[in-house]
Amino acid sequence: MINITLPDGSIKKYSEVVSGLKIAESISQSLAKNSLVIKINNKLQDLSINIDYDCSVEIITKKSPEALDIIRHDAAHVMAEAVQEIFPKTKVAIGPTIKDGFYYDFDSDVSFSPDDFKKIEKKMSQIIKRNNKFVREIWDRKKALKFFEDKNEIYKVEIIKSLNEDEDLTIYKQGEWVDLCRGPHSISTGFINYSFKIMKIAGAYWRGNSKNKMLQRIYATAWIKENDLIDYINRITEAEKRDHRKLGNELELFHIQEESIGNIFWHPKGWTLYRICQEYMRKKLNQSNYKEVRTPSLIDKRLWEESGHWEKFRENMFITQGEDEKPMALKPMNCPAHVQIFKQGIKSYRDLPYRMSEFGSCHRNEPSGSLHGLMRVRGFTQDDAHIFCTKDQINSETESFCKLLTEIYNDFGFTKINIRFADRPEKRAGDDSTWDQAENALENAIKAIDLPYQKDPGGGAFYGPKLDFVLTDTLGREWQCGTLQVDFVLPERLDASYIDERGSKVRPVMLHRAILGSMERFIGVLMESTGGKFPLWLAPIQIMITNISEESIEYAKKIHEICINRNLRAEIDIRNEQLNYKIREHSNKKIPIILVVGRNEMKDQNVSIRRLGSEKQEIVTLKKAIDEIENASYMP
RNA sequence: GCUGUUGUAGCUUAGUGGUAAAGCACUUGCAUGGUAAGCAAGAGAUCGAGGUUUCGAUUACCUCCAACAGCACCA
């Protein structure tokens, strides 16, 4: 007797070996029809696998959360077969599922183009119609190696060779087509009638190593219902409209041009936004006992040699010459300069923690292919600060930093923050007990304020562990913004010290930390998260005052003047245009408040308020309107 | 940096082996308009840069530059 425990706790008994499909069938026909795979003792397996022991199972159907992953994996195999049928000399590499879809990497002499997508999709549909069973087989290493070597599938051969010698190799066949794959897969290529679409093609290095050959990666997506596919495509189309580069142009915030790639030309409105963010940060940092400084951009090579940047970071530095051909570099970071300030005069333990902040203008020669609007630039300003403290202070400083960061992110409307905790890498400076202390301090601090975080084992810098705070853009791409890095090395290299309670010279620890990260990147993310509809306190233009006809021009001007005197960012539109035209234009520019005045408003000293996103008009007295707007526009 | 795609007026796009089209924006008239595009006229582009083929290249080919997607990189 085989006892199979179902998710509801009930036990089904079978007198002989039973497959997942049979279990499903014995429960109901409709379940069997909608089943994809089976979870046996919490591990996903093929439905065809025979069970001859007691276990608990869960049938994974179309409706299960795991379903998408399964069909996408199926679809990846189908796509690979399709590509090899159309381009027979193509070699296959790997084809995993990813968020919202899957990809497969190919090596082919022909380069695939978007024109081939339709062909491949058509072929995929044919393969799905053939409805070949996914047949799972276990091969020994020799057989597998021989098979793939004979087929000249060099990538599969390399994968097999990299696997443990005693590991079983699973092979999946669909008709004639064979792939090395862990599985699981559903019953057959056409078992589930899912919807799919090839999205894009791009290069990708074999095994993610830039020294290896670049393969062609075809990205695609698959969904169980056609409507989900349509929704997904719509979601992407909508997201693209929120692209900060597009908005930057439409809202006249900034531009970039060939003569200074990776650097931003901030326009008046964009610079207003930038300045407000900066003023807000200044206020918050001031409240948190940071002292702001300003250090040079161009610094002699000598300091970079002492700090270690010349050796480790030179590739990314812009190097120029000073007098007598003396090499100088544009600073890529502010830390060495801050240490110079710390070192002026003698510091006492009473001065610690010493929090030194700077809106530090940095330049890094980033690889051309990595540049991306405001998100990845070559010239940027960090809301940087270095906290010089004792080892014992790492914990409390981290905790208050995390609190401050969360508060600030919330003010900007970011409530979901991904935190990565990166601990000691293999190559590192400093002894293990120091690392223990630093890692514990960081981890305890995030735990103390109850923030969820992911671990990034070995991802720390050579000089210390770190916390990274990651935000995502409208397409879900991740951008590291805030960071907190513990550093034992730089104070040593640059000989920073303080005098402790007993009068001896001691090295401080340095915490490198940024909240927004780079002003540019953060504003880019902010633009995408708001879609350009900035909250009132951030909007470059808060109020547009517009008249209806000539007779109300003077009244409009008077209101404009009042707004300006109240420090509201107001503009006036008294162009000789129709009201509809002006409303449309200012709405498209995403100005939060339009004040409309005509004959009636003028007569009663009222204004008509129209808020972005609403077609309602609110007629209130001028005084009340301005008071209300002023109250709503304060910086948090 | 690597692979692929793209590059036409300020913006968005059409198009062609014989120096180019449209909408919006802009300028000028007319219209004096009550909450998302009033009417008309005008001006505006050596088609990313350089080269090759050609009688002739914005169009084909090559090189470069930049942008976009992805990969790699992000101390």
User: Strand B: which residues 190-209 of A lie within 7 A (CB)?
Assistant: 200-205, 208-209
Residue A582 CA and nucleotide B32 C1' are separated, in Å, by 15
Q: Report CA(A245)–C1'(B7) in Å, whole number.
A: 17
My answer on whether A329 and A236 are in the same domain is: no
What residues of A act catalytically?
A: 335, 364, 382, 384, 386, 466, 512
Look up the domain containing A273 and give its range.
268-530
CATH assignment at residue A420: 3.30.930.10
Same domain, A371 and A511: yes
**Chain B nucleotides near the protein (CB, 7 A):** 1-5, 11-12, 25, 30-38, 65-75
Residue nearest to nucleotide B74 (CA to C1'): A366
Instruction: Clarify whether residues A90 and A234 are in a common domain.
Output: yes
Q: Does residue A159 have a pLDDT over 90?
A: yes
Q: What confidence score (pLDDT) does residue A247 get?
A: 96
A388 φ, ψ (degrees, to nearest 5): -95, 120
If asked whether residues A78 and A212 sit together in one domain, one would say yes
A602 nearest nt, CA–C1': B34
Q: Strand B and chain A: which residues 350-379 have CB closer than 7 Å?
A: 364, 366-373, 376
Q: Are A221 and A102 in contact (CB under 8 A)?
A: yes
Cα gap A415→A91, rounded to integer Å: 45
What pLDDT, on a 0 to 100 scale, did the predictor assign at position A246? 95
Question: What is the spatial distance, in angstroms and rounded to an integer, between the CA atom of A114 and the C1' atom of B15?
Answer: 22
Q: Is the Cβ atom of A311 within 7 Å of strand B at any atom?
A: no
Whether residue A296 has pLDDT greater than 90: yes
Distance of C1' in B36 from CA in A249, Å: 20
Q: Sort strands A134-139 and A169-174 into parallel, antiparallel or unpaired.
A: antiparallel
Single out the residue of A515, A510, A494, A518 nearest to residue A309, CA to CA: A494
Nucleotide nearest to A364 (CA to C1'): B74
- Residue A322: is its pLDDT beyond 80? no
Q: Are residues A87 and A54 in the same domain?
A: no
CA-to-CA distance for A372 and A366, rounded, in angstroms?
Answer: 11
Reported in sequence order, the residue ranges of A444-477 that DSSP labels E, i.e. its strands, are 454-456, 466-472
Q: How confident is the model at residue A24 (pLDDT cuts 50, 70, 90)?
A: confident
| Cα A396 from Cα A390, distance rounded (Å) | 11
Residue A297 pLDDT greater than 90, yes or no: yes
pLDDT at A129: 94
In a domain, A537, yes or no: no
Asked if the Cβ of residue A462 lies within 7 A of any atom of strand B, the reply is: yes
CATH no. for residue A149? 3.30.980.10
Task: Please indicate, yes or no, if residue A251 is contained in any of the structural domains.
Answer: no
Closest C-alpha among A73, A56, A47 to residue A11:
A56
Residue whose C-alpha is closest to residue A601's, from A578, A581, A586, A617: A617
For the record, the structure tokens of A302 come out as 């000598």
pLDDT for residue A427: 80
CATH number of the domain at A27, please.
3.10.20.30
Q: Indicate if A219 and A237 belong to the same structural domain.
A: yes
pLDDT score for A356: 97
Give the nucleotide at minimum CA-to-C1' distance from A598.
B34
Is the shortest CB-to-strand distance from A549 to strand B under 7 Å? yes
> What confidence category does residue A166 fall into, taking pLDDT thresholds of 50, 70 and 90?
confident
- A216 plus A146 within the same structural domain: yes
A578 touches strand B (CB under 7 A): yes
In a domain, A262, yes or no: no
- Whether A610 sits with its Cβ under 7 A from any strand B atom: the answer reads yes
Token representation of residue A45? 């397996």
Report whether pLDDT(A21) > 90. no
* Nucleic strand B within 7 A of Cβ A605: no
Mean pLDDT of A112-130: 92
Task: Give the strand pairing for A327-330 and A319-321.
Answer: antiparallel
Residue A33: half-sphere exposure toward Cβ, Cα within 13 Å: 4
Domain endpoint, select from A506, A530, A554: A530
Q: What is the pLDDT of residue A426?
A: 83
The per-residue pLDDT for range A201-235, each reduced to its tens digit, is 999 999 999 999 999 999 999 999 999 999 999 99
Q: Are residues A56 and A76 in the same domain?
A: no
User: A205: which nucleotide lies closest, measuring CA to C1'?
Assistant: B71
At A400-422, the pLDDT tens digits run 999 999 999 999 999 989 999 99
Domain identity same for A175 and A221: yes
Q: Is residue A13 part of a domain?
A: yes
In a domain, A538, yes or no: no
pTM score, whole prediction = 0.94
Lowest mean pLDDT among A13-27, A64-78, A190-204, A368-382: A13-27
Please, are residues A251 and A141 in contact by the beta-carbon 8 Å criterion?
A: no
- Report the C-alpha gap between A368 and A275 in whole angstroms: 28
Percent of chain A with pLDDT over 90: 78
User: Count of CB atoms within 10 A of residue A409's CB?
Assistant: 20
Each residue's pLDDT tens digit, A37-83: 998 888 898 888 888 888 888 989 888 889 999 999 999 999 999 99
Whether residues A216 and A287 share a domain: the answer is no
**pLDDT of res. A459:** 87
Instruction: Tell me the C-alpha distance between A603 and A623, whole Å.
Output: 14
- Does residue A240 reach within 7 angstroms of strand B, measured from its CB? no
Give the pLDDT confidence of A273-286 residue by residue, as tens digits: 999 999 999 999 99
ipTM: 0.95
> Quick one: pLDDT at residue A7?
87
In a domain, A248, yes or no: no
- Residue A45 belongs to some domain of the structure: yes
* Residue A460, nucleotide of least CA–C1' distance: B75
Per-residue pLDDT tens for A541-555? 999 999 999 999 999
CA of A597: nucleotide with nearest C1': B34
Residue A619 sits in a domain whose CATH number is: 3.40.50.800
Predicted local distance difference test score (pLDDT) of residue A556? 96
Please indicate, yes or no, whether residues A317 and A442 belong to a single structural domain of this protein: yes
Whether A582 CB is under 7 Å from strand B: no
Q: Is the pLDDT of residue A323 over 80?
A: no
Token duo for residue A75: 């679809």
Residue A115 has what pLDDT?
82
Q: What is residue A425's predicted lDDT score, i.e. its pLDDT?
A: 86
Q: Is residue A253 part of a domain?
A: no
Q: Are residues A96 and A25 in the same domain?
A: no
What integer best gives the mean pLDDT of chain A? Answer: 93
> What is the number of structural domains in chain A?
4
